[in-house]
Structure 1
């Protein structure tokens, strides 16, 4: 989650007038401590609260890779230099303040070969070896104390979606997709597209409540160490709330970090193993929803969520969808109705049927010289429905 998700935007007016809902916290004492830190000024005459300053300082620590010991020294220096400043004496105590925001994550042990997750509600969680490949769950480097060889960091989704409605300003923005009028019928935003309209027409109960959330999922790998020679790769998974207006929707501060899939290599088709806790939570949000307080209207409603799209590059598309993007049938649009050509010298596939999408009378269809010395007489591929795709998957064996 971005910094704007952690700090109440532009002041603490919602905290001051009590518009944050106590039901969003586990108990009243935690809520009262949160209000105290949110209202307490850093020092007399300061424009910044204690909570805001600690979060911004933590943001700098992450960006600049400052150690916990150095952060404790910085906090002690600030306390000694500026009398009356309201700061904790150690970075450990500062993290306790941040934990009240509810941005913690869950550690889930994973098989080193990406075969399975050791989930708490799974009876296999007590096993020491993977039930598929038989490899040990524990790291061989730690002999005295058991330590998992591979750990998935998962950030629960429900508290983060509920937090979007804890601030009255953000809660109003979350209904922008329904309240803002469409100007000229052109496709500029997801809500202007036919897919969004068809979804609302099919799921009318979901569409009747504009506070229900439509999400997009994006993932890609990167090298966390910044060294090109390193082969280590980490795969974060982000969720994007499409309810927000365009100037907020694709801002990095609006992205919701869902999980961090560990390396050292790409999870490949086994990414679905790591997506299991997210999929379970999305199913629950779709079927049952979660009770949420809307600070803009002052009432409680049952919030549902739906995953509308995925955003990725072409290799990422192959991972998320399971479609093989490395052969002559790589195009998910053309499906089996494609015209691949294998280039022997470069050992790559190319696709020569792109002119089929042009109009029947387009001059490029008859142009032989500029293309592959042939005319194009084929029409565009047939658009497959969801039932057609499910029919193709009938013979695919899925492992439990």
Structure 2
């Protein structure tokens, strides 16, 4: 059946006829579940069962998965053997295992981007049994593991199936005997990770010069703990457990894998090739900071494949119980070279680090970010040779952290600025306008009308605000070099047991580890606030007050007393 209609515009007659032919094919060949079939639209990606009428609507309105040309989920026989050329395996259902199958088929992928690829190369050419032309050992294992992930089979079910299939096939077949052996075959395909021991007080990571130490060089606490939870210096036990662990997933091999896939390598140039450049702000590439970087570092900006990354981190409770005293911190990277439709897709959000709990790192997060920052420095200064499968060439890759995205408390942890107290507003710093409430005992920040345009009518209103007009101009935000001058001489000793010297009342608590990046001082916007938190908090406060929700409204007795005390309301 002709599949070219998948690439046609959705408003064309060719596409509409192709949809009808596909629905007839699915109705005739695919097994129905309660009269419903897998929906191959770009949103469902064969992950949901829908009625034919709904599938027709989805395909017309949303589109058909363009890479889904072998309709295995709609009655066609699967084709998962690896191609000899750089032709991608025509298999797509939104499952990551199929992404792996397709990636392994890319020319040069195994050699350049998979550790110990020789074993995989052998398995990818070894017939499943003598005379078999359909499956290799690797493709058969990939297909079976894919089915396991697709339908939620247990390890035991896959082992039983492998034993059954092995008995059905000729005696010389190369199928593994168990799920464990299948995983060993696929193990080299997986990405490496580093398990780094850390001081339980967040003083140091046991790496480099500290890798052999048994006690923290800062606080002296033991690196290990016993089964009963007590900390011990006895490392002669059979399996000493580290007191705290940081999991680091090196980013350079992952960037290499992105460029080793033709489709992804093409998308990584979207911001320079396919972006609509009409002066409107639709993407970080339209921002002044993007253009400033191109101006300051023309060699970096001249190569559209160089990566600009957003870094996000926040505390989370992996146990799902908000009352549990535990806080683990994932550190994720977003790739801003990609189009907006892909930037925030789960497939392209890279988990680079997991800082295990139970206590949040706070200002000591710099200790854990060090491995990531070192790799980012290498990508900026030394660069890395990367194979581009789209253009069929090797190039020198640069990468940089464009900004961080976080809520306000994490803003303080990453930047080193104190976001509590009377000067908690980073833009105004010393010029923050605040009032300490007499009855509510809170610090509030006022005079926001300073940031309006000079002739804005709100500046002249009195009764609606604090009884006076606003005539002052907004304070000038700190320039990038001014921020660096404030933090460059701060000496910080990390760790929860270390006493902090606050005698100078400096609102900058540390020199952030991000200043180790050569370009960080020249960025105008280094840390961004997550609009979700701002929007949610403001919306919650407004709705709770307007609806007078008990226990959540801001309109209480103390609030009204403070309004009287400030002369705003009677």
The normalised TM-score by structure 2 is 0.62
Find the residue that maps to 1:156 and give its secondary structure.
coil
The offset of 1:105, in angstroms, is 1.0
Q: Which structure is higher in RCO with an 8 Å CA cutoff and minimum separation 6?
A: 1
Q: In the alignment, does 2:161 pair up with 1:78?
A: yes
Partner residue of 1:354 out of 434, 448, 458: 448
Which digits, 9 at most, give the CA deviation of each residue in 1:114-154, with x for residues without a partner?
Answer: 000001x22x2211111111111001327733221111111
Counterpart selection for 2:415 from 311, 321, 339? 321
| Deviation, structure 1 residue 163 | 0.7
Deviation at 1:24, TM superposition (A): 2.0
Distance verdict in 2 for CA 1:249–1:98, change over 3 Å: farther
Change (3 A) 1:208 1:392: same
Q: Return the offset for 1:86.
A: 8.9
Please report how far the alpha carbon of residue 347 of structure 1 lies from its aligned counterpart in structure 2 after TM superposition: 3.7
Shift of the alpha carbon at 1:334?
Answer: 1.8
Question: 2:204 aligns to what?
Answer: 116
Task: Report if aligned partners of 1:340, 1:352 keep a CA contact under 8 Å in 2.
Answer: yes
Q: Which of 119, 130, 146 is the aligned partner of 2:240?
A: 146
Alignment of 1:23-102 (within 5 A): 23-33=112-122, 35=124, 50-51=141-142, 54=145, 57=148, 71-79=154-162, 88-102=176-190
Q: Deviations over 1:319-342 (max 9, x none)?
A: 111111111221222222210222
- The alpha-carbon distance between structure 1 residues 371 and 157, as it changes in their structure 2 partners (threshold 3 A), is same
In structure 2, relative to structure 1, the CA distance for the partners of 1:207 and 1:232 (3 Å cut) is same
2:200, 2:244 within 8 Å by CA — same for their partners in 1?
yes
State the alpha-carbon separation in 2 of the partners of residues 175 and 35 from structure 1.
31
Question: What residue number does 1:133 align with?
Answer: 219
Please say if 1:20 is aligned against 2:103.
no
Which among 477, 481, 484 is matched to residue 387 of structure 1?
481
1:193 aligns with 287
1:107 correspondence with 2:195:
yes
The residue matched to 2:109 in structure 1 has which SS? Answer: coil
Q: Does 1:369 align with 2:369?
A: no
Equivalent runs, 1:103-252 vs 2, <5 Å? 103-119=191-207, 121-122=208-209, 124-141=210-227, 144=237, 145-252=239-346
- For residues 169 and 26 of structure 1, what CA distance do their matches in structure 2 show? 22
CA deviations over 1:213-234 (Å, ceiling 9, x no partner) = 1111001111111112211111
Task: Check whether the contact 1:106–1:155 (CA below 8 A) recurs between aligned residues.
Answer: yes
Per-residue CA deviation, residues 280-304 of structure 1 (Å, 9 max, x unaligned), is 1111111011111000011101111
SS of alignment partner, residue 356 of structure 1: helix
What is the DSSP-based 3-state SS (H/G/I as helix, E as strand, rest coil) of the residue aligned with 2:431? coil
Closer, same or farther: CA 348–77 of 1 in aligned 2, 3 Å:
farther
Per the alignment, residue 258 of structure 1 pairs with 352
Q: Structure 1 length as normaliser, TM-score? A: 0.86
Kept in 2, the 8 Å contact 1:75–1:89? The answer is no
Q: Which stretches in structure 2 are left out of the alignment for 5+ residues?
A: 1-92, 229-233, 495-570
CA separation of 1:31 and 1:79: change in aligned 2, threshold 3 A:
closer
C-alpha distance after superposition, 1:176-195 (max 9, x if no partner):
01112434211110000001
Q: How many residues align?
A: 382
**Structure (1 or 2) with the larger CA radius of gyration:** 2
Instruction: Mark the CA change 1:291 to 1:355 in structure 2 (over 3 Å): closer, same or farther.
Output: same
1:76 and 1:311 map into 2 onto residues whose CA distance is 44
